[in-house]
Every structure is written in structure tokens, then in C-alpha cells.
Amino acid sequence: MTVFKATRKTRVKTRMETRVKNRMETKVETSEAILNLIMGNPSITRKELATHLHLTMKGIDWNLNKLKKEGRLKRIGPDRGGYWEIM
């Protein structure tokens, strides 16, 4: 009987592939969570999003900008008194 023993190079490649896959899934999950929170409260603030999702303000800004560039989200009105519109 032959037993396959993974080489170090194979393990490193597999580990890297898993990390990339997990990062992509996390980004999608975060975007969807942001959209769900906005659907529930269109006037939610960035600070409230950060609190709900346990992300930094920079992380929220990054995700909001990505959603805007993708055409999935739009800000209507000023920072104070405005609201989010899901496209």
C-alpha cells in the first residue's frame, strides 16, 4: 500500500489557496451584512455599521466605497440627515 505524504511545498500552496478563498468569502459576507443592515435602517450611520459588524471605521469605509463603485449602493443627501439607497 502506498501512502501519499504531502510535501512542504504542497502544504504551503494548499494553505495559501484556503486563505484566499476564505478572504473572498468574508468580503462577500461583509458586503451582504452591510446591505442587510441598511435595508433595515436606511439612515444608519457608518459608526453604527462598525459597531454592529465589529469592524473599524476604515473597514466600513472600504466596504461602502466598494459597494458604491459596484453600483449597489448610493448615498442620498448630506452626511447628517441623509440616507442610503440600495440600487
Q: Is residue 45 part of a domain?
A: yes
Residue 48 grid cell: 453604527
- The CATH code of the domain that includes 79 is 1.10.10.10
* CB contact at 8 A, 59 and 50: yes
DSSP at 54:
T
Interhelix angle 46-53/8-40, nearest 10 degrees = 130
How many CA atoms does the CB half-sphere of 17 hold within 13 Å?
A: 6
1 falls within a domain = no
**82 in a domain, yes or no?**
yes
Tens digit of pLDDT for each residue in 12-24?
667 777 776 666 6
Asked whether residue 68 is assigned to any structural domain, the reply reads yes
The overall average pLDDT reported for the chain is 83
| Surface-to-core class of residue 66, CB atoms within 10 Å of its CB (0-12 exposed, 13-18 middle, 19+ buried) | middle
3 found inside a domain: no
In a domain, 2, yes or no: no
Q: What is the 3-state secondary structure (H, E, C) of 71-86?
A: CCEEEECCCCCCEEEE
Q: In which domain, by residue range, is 58 found?
A: 9-86
| Percentage above 70 pLDDT, the chain | 74
Count of structural domains, the chain? 1
Residue 4 belongs to a domain: no
pTM (2 decimals)?
A: 0.70
Residue 5 has pLDDT above 90, yes or no: no
Amino acid at 58: K
In a domain, 31, yes or no: yes
